[in-house]
Each structure stands twice: as structure tokens, then as C-alpha cells.
């Protein structure tokens, strides 16, 4: 039996997650916090929970907006990324962090 992972581990130890999965997770956590607070299942301050939940949803919205901005215009064919280009970009990310 094989199971696919929604994560991609890069050579430098960086972990990539699909943006739609990350935004769904952020929104789900925010919703669970709000529901638990509404039901009285926590001792947390409702105003604080609301502020934190709104923060998570704003991060999710920002990720969505940035991903949309990366999409090519509809009338332009996306450029295929060559394997060498992908390796160069990955190496450049590692160099920038050092």
C-alpha cells in the first residue's frame, strides 16, 4: 500500500505544502476556535479568540491573493519550467538564507 504525502521535502530541509491545503487548514482552525468559544467549551476570552481567528483568516486571504497574483494572464501560455531552472531556483533560495 502506498500513500501520497501532501508535502514536498526539498533538499535543504524545507517543507512545501500546497497553498490551497494551507489556507483550508488556517480557515478550519479559525472556525473550530470560534465554534468552541460560541459553545462555551473554552475558558478563553471571546474577543481574543475572535481577534486570533480573524488573524488566521487574513493570513489565508493573503496567501490566496498572492497565489492569484502569480497566475499568468489568461491569454498567455505558461512557460514550462525546465528541470535545470527548477534546481537553480532551489539552490538560490538556499543561498539567500545562508
Best CA proximity match to 17, nearest among 61, 63, 57: 63
Flag whether pLDDT at 4 surpasses 70.
Answer: no
Mean pLDDT of the chain: 84
Flag whether pLDDT at 51 surpasses 90.
Answer: yes
What integer pLDDT is reported at residue 74 of this predicted model? 82
Gap between the Cα atoms of 78 and 87, Å rounded = 19
Residues 6+ apart with CB under 8 A from 33: 49, 52, 53
Flag whether pLDDT at 31 surpasses 90.
Answer: yes
**CA torsion sign, 1 to 5 to 71 to 29?**
positive
pTM: 0.66
pLDDT in tens, 74-86: 877 767 766 665 5
Length of the chain: 98
Higher-confidence residue of 37 and 79: namely 37
pLDDT in tens, 58-77: 999 999 999 999 888 887 77
| Rounded average pLDDT over 23-34 | 97
Amino acid at each position: 500500500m502506498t500513500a501520497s504525502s501532501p508535502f514536498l521535502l526539498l533538499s535543504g530541509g524545507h517543507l512545501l505544502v500546497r497553498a490551497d491545503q494551507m489556507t483550508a487548514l488556517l480557515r478550519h482552525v479559525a472556525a473550530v476556535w470560534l465554534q468552541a468559544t460560541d459553545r462555551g467549551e473554552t475558558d478563553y476570552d471571546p474577543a481574543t479568540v475572535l481577534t486570533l481567528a480573524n488573524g488566521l483568516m487574513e493570513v489565508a486571504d493573503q496567501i490566496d491573493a498572492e497565489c492569484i497574483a502569480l497566475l499568468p494572464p489568461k491569454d498567455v501560455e505558461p512557460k514550462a519550467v525546465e528541470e535545470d531552472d527548477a534546481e537553480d531556483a532551489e539552490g538560490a533560495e538556499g543561498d539567500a538564507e545562508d
